[in-house]
Chains A and B, each alone.
Chain A
Amino acid sequence: MSVKKKFKGLSDKAVGWLFIGPTVLLLLAINIYPLVYAIKMSFTNFYANKIGREPQFVGLKNYIKVLNKEAIWEKMQVTASFMFWTLLLQAIIGLGLALLLNRKFKGNELLTTLIVLPMMLSPAVVGVFWTYLYNPQVGLFNYVVNFFYDLGSFDMIGSSTLAPWAIVIVDTWMWTPFTMLICLAGLRSVPNYLYEAAEVDRASKWQQFIYITLPSVLPFLLLALLFRGIENFKMFDMVVELTSGGPGSATELASINLKREAFEKWKTGYSSAFAVILFVTIFGFGNVYVKVMNKIKER
């Protein structure tokens, strides 16, 4: 029986639902239901490991507890700092690399492929092998730094001052290619005649960059940063493998703390409240960001 015959008699709307139905069902089952369940749990004192103990309704107690806990704000601060520096560095370096690779030169394709390699690796694997690179005795990173400037023995992962930078460096190394690729797509979509017209008007290279390149590539860059921002807000695997959130809690991001509260301490109600707060935060920021991005696009 042909597809045409099979769908004969169904309205367009029905066919539409037929296509999106499985996806909607899947989303309801694995996204919406857990979300609603987590919201429900966030108002209880539920502990998933305490078998037979019925959860009791505690109102907003968990939310108040999360928001009043100093340690939570410390984790949020660590997360904010991690996001700020990674996004800033990835924006600058990613755009720089895209500008470089947008030029035609011999070996361009090979260089692009090599630059893109880190983002194809598993974050957990990256975390593990950077622990070796950061090793103060045999690590390549320390060797390279000391080759250019003799700092002596320093421990990137063991020092509370350096460890936050250690995770920023690794994330930047891994994900700058992503920002670069999106920016490169943006650069390649800029029509050449704009530059030709600018040349005729005797605009300098700097002016061409400020008035043509940057405005054209900005929506792409912002989109890349949105994706990276969401990803880094929930960053977990790479940091766990690299520092376990340490030393102490110097690199314990909100997501790592959430996992510890939910699946090690089994404070299900409390951690559900924490997860809802994180969800609202990222959802709110994401919405504002998209609105700003759309306004920039409209200009």
Chain B
Amino acid sequence: MKKIMILLFVSLFSFSVNSNAKSITLGWAAWDPANALQELTKEFTAETGIEVNFEFVPWPNFADRMLNELNNKGKTFDLLIGDSQWIGAGAVYGHYVKLNDFFDKEGISMSDFSPATVYAYSTWPKGSENYYALPAMGDALAWAYRKDWFERPELKSEFKKKHGYDLGVPANWNQLYDMCTFFQGREIDGQKRYGAAINTERGSEGITMGVTAAMYAWGMEYENPNKPYDMEGYFNSPQAVEAVEFYRKLYEDCAPPGHSDAYMVANLDAYKSGQVAFQMNWYAFWPGVSKEDSDGRVSGFFANPKQNVAAATLGGQGISVVKYSDKQDLALEYIKWFARPDVQQKWWDLGGYSCHNDVLNSPSFPTSTVYAQGFLDSMGIVKDFWQEPTFVELMLPMQEAIHDYVVNGKGTAKEALDKIIEEWVEVFEADGKL
């Protein structure tokens, strides 16, 4: 009995010690940059004594998990690295703490960060000076390709003979298509290879992120710049229709078999297993891809090719303090530390994509990695999906209609875009925007 009492006392004591320790919880998606952040954060804990617990949620469940938590005013997270599209909901529904006063007090200036990332990850309403997040992880959709295959003399000469220009980084989407079809079904080193692993995922945001990479490059606008939410003739413009048709052609003629519900991980797998010549994916994955080049595989990287205009799909996230947290002061301390230029430099060195001008404008930055210049190029041309508080309601009909057209082959591109506009009008009407 005495032993049991001692055990009980010791466990109660250790519990009370643990609960008294200063700690915060940070939520993000489960992917490579999250591991880099975990590594970086060790320095924060060493400096401040504040423990940071991490909860990383797999991408397919990330939005569901986090948005449910916020809608339920949950206290699980003190800090959240949320997707760029969530900023509207975070601000309007009061999930995120407004950071203006804190920034002013601590001397954190948003002009120290890349303007595109501040606009995309921090502000609501868009372009205002109301800040709800600190740009944490810059990202855009880009391409990786098998540089080793591209450098093979026999493939180079065959391609040049067929298409009249050099096999290399495609200057536009037409060239990308030529190169993809060139590799489609081709046998290299005794194995059958395919053109490109592109986004086709149906459940969350995959196919939308993929198809918009083409639509932006064709010059698509979501709405009339002079009349907000007027989408007719913009989102379903002839250019937008052509881009969607092109994306379907790319899927039909260049994707590996079975690539009908693929996003980040499936694209990585197809590329790493040597199935495809190209993969579409986020910059966040390039450090891993580059590091894991082996068995003769050499990867090259390039920004989203232009067609009518230069544009790329925006990814990335800002870091916000959750309004329902009881430890907002500790969470703000983390943001203050994370905003420091020296920490931002270490963040980039570890594989995170810093948005701080000191890092991005450093003369050595473009040559610091093989994908750094592409990242710089991309961040100057990024465009994002609606960042409205209703972005999920806006995303779902697009996922369904585009998947139905691109993968399922149902109807026409124009019909798909018209259907999306119809649903979006309903969403904006319900939200009182129309």
Contacts and interface: CB of A to CB of B under 8 A. Distances in A.
| Physical interaction between A and B | yes
A247 interface: yes
Contacts of A160: 408-410
Nearest to B207: A246
Contact of B257 (A51, A136, A250, A263): A136
A42 interface: no
A45 B430 contact: yes
Contacts, number: 90
Interface stretch (B13-21, B231-239, B396-404): B396-404
A291 interface: no
Interface residues of B, number: 30
Contact of A244 (B202, B404, B409, B410): B202
Contacts of B377: none
Given A50-B93, A263-B64, A247 B71 contact: no
Identify the interface centre among B71, B89, B201, B202: most chain A CB within 10 Å of its CB. Answer: B202
B366 interface: no
A4 B94 CA distance: 59
Contacts of B396: 260, 264-265
Contacts of B404: 247-249
A245 interface: yes
Interface in B403-434: 403-405, 407-410, 430
B89 to A, nearest CB: 7
Given A49-B67, A51-B94, A157-B261, A247 B393 contact: no
A248 B68 CA distance: 25
A248 B393 contact: no
B407 A158 contact: yes
A247 B202 contact: yes
Nearest to A242: B261
B260 interface: yes
B93 A49 contact: yes
B260 A246 contact: yes
Contacts of B67: 49
B392 interface: yes
A240 B204 CA distance: 12
A158 B71 contact: no
Contacts of B400: 248-249, 252
B120 to A, nearest CB: 22
A139 to B, nearest CB: 8
A137 B93 CA distance: 46
Interface of A: 45, 47-52, 134-137, 139, 153, 155, 157-160, 240, 243-250, 252, 260, 263-267
23 contacts: A47-B430, A49-B71, A50-B93, A136-B257, A137-B275, A139-B258, A157-B261, A160-B410, A243-B202, A245-B202, A246-B407, A246-B408, A247-B260, A247-B403, A247-B404, A247-B407, A249-B404, A252-B400, A263-B64, A263-B68, A266-B71, A266-B392, A267-B430
- In the A-B complex, the 8 residue pairs with the smallest Cβ-Cβ separation, listed nearest first, are A158-B260, A248-B404, A248-B408, A246-B202, A136-B257, A244-B203, A247-B408, A247-B407
